[in-house]
Amino acid sequence: MGTRKRIDAEVRPPRALALLGLVVILQTGFQTREALRDRRILDLAMMDQADTLRPLGEERAKLEALVNGTLNLADRGDKNAKAIVDRMDLERFRGAGF
């Protein structure tokens, strides 16, 4: 009977390690699958937003051109452009990259 207990004790740890290894592999696979699914969802959301954001980029480019043109006119001495520049919140525009 003592021999049987010794054999069981020698067999159980490898079984437990195998089970632990299987759990780790399954958990890693599950997490990978979830990460890929989340990535696919984010890619779809980005593609959906691209059509919405494209016109905003065009409008921003127009605004930048208008502000830069007004600043250039003011620098060259145009008094009307200077009056506009004085009323503009230049800190806000300069912070936006103008």
CA distance 25 to 9: 25
pTM of the model: 0.45
In sequence order, which residues have a C-beta less than 8 Å from that of residue 98 and are 6 or more positions away?
64, 67, 68, 71
pLDDT on residue 90? 61
DSSP 3-state assignment of 2?
Answer: helix
pLDDT on residue 13? 67
In sequence order, which residues have a C-beta less than 8 Å from that of residue 36 and are 6 or more positions away?
none
Give the count of domains, the chain.
1
**What domain range includes position 12?**
2-95
Could you tell me the mean pLDDT of each successive run of 10 residues in the chain, 98 residues long?
A: 57 78 96 97 91 85 89 89 79 57
pLDDT on residue 92? 64
